Amino acid sequence: MVQLSSLAGDFALMLRAEWTKLRTVPGWVATAAGALLAILAVGLLGTAATNPNPVRTGLPVGPGGEAVNDSFSFVHRELSGDGTLTVPVLGLTSVTAQGPEGSSPGPVAEWAKAGIIVKAGLDQGSTYAAVTATGAHGVRWQHDYTHDAAGRPGRPTDAAPQWLRLTRTGDTVTGYDSADGEHWTRIGTARLPDLPGTAQVGLFTTSPETPEDTGTGTGLAPAVATGRFGPAVLSGGWAEDPGGPGGPDDGWTGSLVGTDAGTSGSYLPGATGGYARDAAGFTVTGAGDIAPVVGGPALAGGRVVENFLVGTFAGLTALAVVATGSATAEYRRGLIALTLAAAPRRGLLPLAKALPLAGVSLLVGTAAAALAVPLGTAWSTAHGFPVAAVPDAVTLRVVLGTGLLLADATVLALALGLLLRRAAPAIAATVAGLVLPYLLATSGTLPTGASEWLLRVTPAAGFAIQQSLPRLPQVSTLYAPASGHYPLPPWTGLAVLTAWAAAALLAAALLIRRRDA
């Protein structure tokens, strides 16, 4: 116990001494303050342009606070209270762009959807629950954009339709599927507190753009899907039809929800969204998606939170200068012997130096991000660039994560300074380990596999903490570093950088115990 108390006392004295050094060197204090200003200035200047084609409406926002893509062709009725909708999906086909001259039948986009939905209204971003057949992932139960669960496998055909059922009871909606329309399996249940008493209920079809080989890489081709449905049967409280079942005034109407629900532009001439009806049921054609925005065409002309944090690189470099200076100044001036003489437990010296630097970097990074995100969002929105909204928890993670990213980077720079004893090589090594892999991975010059490898195993993995848009298996886009997606989850990526910093600091502690000043 006495030895432990002595160890704690020695470390406290070392920590106080290192903090005193850090705050009393004017150049270091000025550089740390400059790092904060650099993060702000570079981030805001980099997004200071005015959009020549301004988008004033912004991106729809879902119930969870995330930007969403909410575009589809909808055959619906306004229904009150509780009830059930049942329908067989008989087929799902697609038309895919082949170029500006025309279009042709193509493979169905894997996340093309034809199904049934209950939705608060026709406004984009409103709460919903749906059970749907897909192009390549069988039946899915989805609600409020981010939730997804699997049902029966297979794409619907005349010979093997996918039977779907959706039941509402109060604010609870349940989805079912069946192979024969007789034996039903519950896929999932959702509670939708924002679902009004009178909601829109009906059939929908949509299709995101589908990946294609462009000859120079993988791109996204516009696609429009068509779903064929058998008769729609309403039961329970929804059983009343104003004009009688199948009558001319039985309440069904068609709408295009979202600007791209009808076609995917001039690349698909004649692929017009809408619906047709006959004695056999409905045919519904549409494009778009019902899903969170994860990048790609849904974000075209828009910005994301991390766009305002590109100045992190400038702040990182400035703080690396302070860290390596703290590590090497005593060697350069011949004062390291005095420091070690005053610190008999020399193995703790790197940690004593690291903690004040990490604390300052955490404060600088967090404060800069907390200012850059709202200022950049306000400026971009005012100048015609919509910004993809994210939940408050994501914003908090990005802001705090930027501080932690800089804290880790500073500790890594300090450790490299102690190992190399020279500031310039230590700064160069820090940049080579953090910035260079990031630039190589995100520039698009490397194959996707190599880029993802760099962002998995190098310290640059830590930048994943700043990613604001999710990577979701049920949303189709080009998930690659060049398009802003990291191969590791945010906190896992930061953990890789933390491991590098901790390993380097441990190496410095072991080395400083074994070698002379």
CATH number for the domain spanning 290: value is 2.60.120
Q: What is the pLDDT of residue 220?
A: 66
91, part of any domain: yes
412 and 282 in a common domain = no
Span 231-282, pLDDT tens digits: 999 999 887 554 444 444 468 999 989 876 655 444 455 556 788 898 889 9
Give mean pLDDT, residues 180-198: 95
**Per mean pLDDT, which range of 175-179, 216-220, 455-459, 479-483 is the poorest?**
216-220
Q: For the residues of 283-352, what is the DSSP string, one character each? A: EEEE-SEEEE--SGGGGTT-B-GGGGGTTHHHHHHHHHHHHHHHHHHHHHTT-HHHHHHH-S-GGGHHHH
97 and 18 in a common domain = no
153 and 186 in a common domain = yes
Residue 387, domain extent:
2-50+302-469+479-514
Q: What is the pLDDT of residue 249?
A: 47
309 and 287 in a common domain = no
60, part of any domain: no
Give mean pLDDT, residues 292-297: 82
Burial class (CB in 10 A: 0-12, 13-18, 19+), 349: buried
Q: Which of 267, 296, 325 represents a domain boundary (last residue)?
A: 296
319 and 237 in a common domain = no
Span 345-400, pLDDT tens digits: 666 778 888 999 999 999 999 999 999 999 999 988 888 888 989 999 999 999 99
Reported as half-sphere exposure (CB side, CA atoms, 13 A), residue 140 has a value of: 23
Which structure tokens are listed for 123? 């406004």
Answer whether 28's CB lies under 8 Å from 321's CB.
no
Q: What is the pLDDT of residue 2?
A: 46
Q: What is the pLDDT of residue 210?
A: 73
Helix, strand, coil in percent for the chain, rounding step 5: 40, 25, 35
132, part of any domain: yes
**Per mean pLDDT, which range of 47-61, 331-345, 484-498 is the poorest?**
331-345
Answer whether 383's CB lies under 8 Å from 49's CB.
yes
Closest among 207, 217, 205 to 97, alpha carbons compared: 207
Q: What is the pLDDT of residue 168?
A: 97
Chain centre distance of CA 136: 23
196, part of any domain: yes
**Rounded-to-integer distance, Cα 379 and Cα 368, Å:** 16
172 and 105 in a common domain = yes
94 and 28 in a common domain = no
384 and 424 in a common domain = yes
Other beta carbons within 10 Å of 107: 14
**Per mean pLDDT, which range of 4-13, 68-77, 299-308, 445-454 is the poorest?**
4-13
151, part of any domain: yes
Give mean pLDDT, residues 142-157: 95
85, part of any domain: yes
Q: Which of 261, 296, 331 represents a domain boundary (last residue)?
A: 296
Indicate the pLDDT class of residue 59, thresholds 50, 70 and 90: confident
55, part of any domain: no
242 and 118 in a common domain = yes
pTM of structure: 0.86
91 and 44 in a common domain = no
Q: Which of 273, 296, 319 represents a domain boundary (last residue)?
A: 296
Considering its fold, how many domains does the chain have in total? 2
169 and 42 in a common domain = no
Percent of the chain scoring above 70 in pLDDT: 83
Q: Name 224's bridge partners.
A: 95
Q: What is the pLDDT of residue 10?
A: 67
501 and 390 in a common domain = yes
Higher pLDDT, 50 or 75: 75
186, part of any domain: yes
Q: What is the pLDDT of residue 483?
A: 81
